[in-house]
Amino acid sequence: MWPIKIFKARDRSMEPAIKEGDYLIVSRLYCRLMPGDIVVLRHPAKDISIVKRVSAASGNSLYVVGDNKAESEDSRSFGSVKREKVIGKVMLKV
């Protein structure tokens, strides 16, 4: 498994920081996640990957939100997510 992965943003939930169609370089090697970090994670109820910003982190749980609140399905609707759902931390937008 490669430590770096490329993802394509598939919705507008992170606008204006990340626009639909932007490519993201994601590191699977990260030490910890802090509020403000942008992550790619597995949706807790659907078989899709989503991009969200960490709003809060405690223990094994993360509260994640999209920057574009009107277009985002996030922890406000599905609750906190387990850290094991995180695929990686967004390092760069290209």
Task: Note the pLDDT tens digit of each residue in 43-88.
Answer: 999 999 999 999 999 989 999 999 999 999 999 999 999 999 999 9
State residue 30's pLDDT score: 83
Provide the pLDDT confidence category of residue 32 given band limits of 50, 70 and 90: confident
Q: At 30, list the tokens.
A: 């990260």
Whole-prediction pTM: 0.93
Contact 63, 55 (CB under 8 A): yes
Residue 64 CB partners (closer than 8 Å, separation 6+):
39, 41, 52, 53, 54, 55, 74, 75, 81
Q: The tokens 């590191």 sit on which residue?
A: 27
**pLDDT at 42 exceeding the cut of 90:** yes
Domain boundaries, the chain: 4-93
Residue 45 CB partners (closer than 8 Å, separation 6+):
78
CATH superfamily of the 4-93 domain: Umud Fragment, subunit A (2.10.109.10)
